[in-house]
Chains A and B, each alone.
Chain A
C-alpha cells in the first residue's frame, strides 16, 4: 500500500492567516492526489483533485500543488468556516488516506 503522511497533525492559526498542509507519499503517485475537508459529524467534502484542480464550488482561497511524492494544500486567507480537519488521499493505486490535519483556531 502507498502510505500517505500528513504534516502537521495539528495546526493552530488565526483568521486571515495563510496556511499550508503537506502530504508525502511513500512512493511516486504522479499527480493522483485529492484533498478533503471534514467537519465534526459531517461527511468529507472534496476540495482538490489531481493535485491542483479545484472542485466546483470550492472557494479560490484553496489551492493544491505538487507531484510524485510531495504535495501541499494552501489556504490563502483563513476564514472562520475553514477550521476543520483536512485529509489527503492518493489514487494512483487503490485509495489510501493521510491521517489528517486538524486546523484549530489560535
Chain B
C-alpha cells in the first residue's frame, strides 16, 4: 500500500528554522518526483517546491526561494523540506505529494499534512 507519512511540523518563532520529513513506502521512491504543497488558514493550496526523482533538479515558488530547501534521501525513501528564516505567512499545513504518471506537476498521492505555526 502506498503511504506518505509527514512529520516535523511544530510551533516556531519568526526567523526560526524547521525541517519537515515525508517518509514514503509502497512505490519506487527514486523514480518519482516529489513535491511540497501548503495551505495557509483561509487560503488556497499553494505549490511550494518540487524535486526530481534523482534529486538533481529542484524548483521553488518565488516566496520561498533562498529560505527553503527541498531534498531527498532515496536510500531512506524520505523527502525533506528545510524551512529557514520563517515568516508569519509561512504558517500552514504542509503536504507532500507524489508526482503523477509521467509528470512532475500533478500529484497522484498526498501525505496527510503537518502543521507549521509561526508565532512569537
Residues of chain A touching chain B, judged by Cβ–Cβ distance below 8 Å, are 32, 34, 42-46, 49, 55, 87, 89, 91, 94-100
Contacts and interface: CB of A to CB of B under 8 A. Distances in A.
Contacts of B106: 32, 34, 46, 49, 89, 91, 95
A34 B95 CA distance: 17
Interface of B: 35, 37, 44-47, 59, 61, 95, 100, 103, 105-113
B59 to A, nearest CB: 7
Given A49-B100, A94-B59, A44 B95 contact: yes
B112 A43 contact: yes
Contacts, number: 51
Q: Chain B contact residues: over half helix, strand or loop, or mixed?
A: strand
Contacts of A44: 45, 95, 107, 110
A98 B103 contact: no
B111 to A, nearest CB: 6
Given A46-B109, A91-B103, A99-B44, 17 more contacts: A32-B105, A34-B100, A42-B112, A43-B95, A43-B112, A44-B95, A46-B100, A46-B106, A46-B107, A87-B44, A89-B45, A91-B106, A95-B37, A95-B47, A97-B47, A98-B44, A100-B44
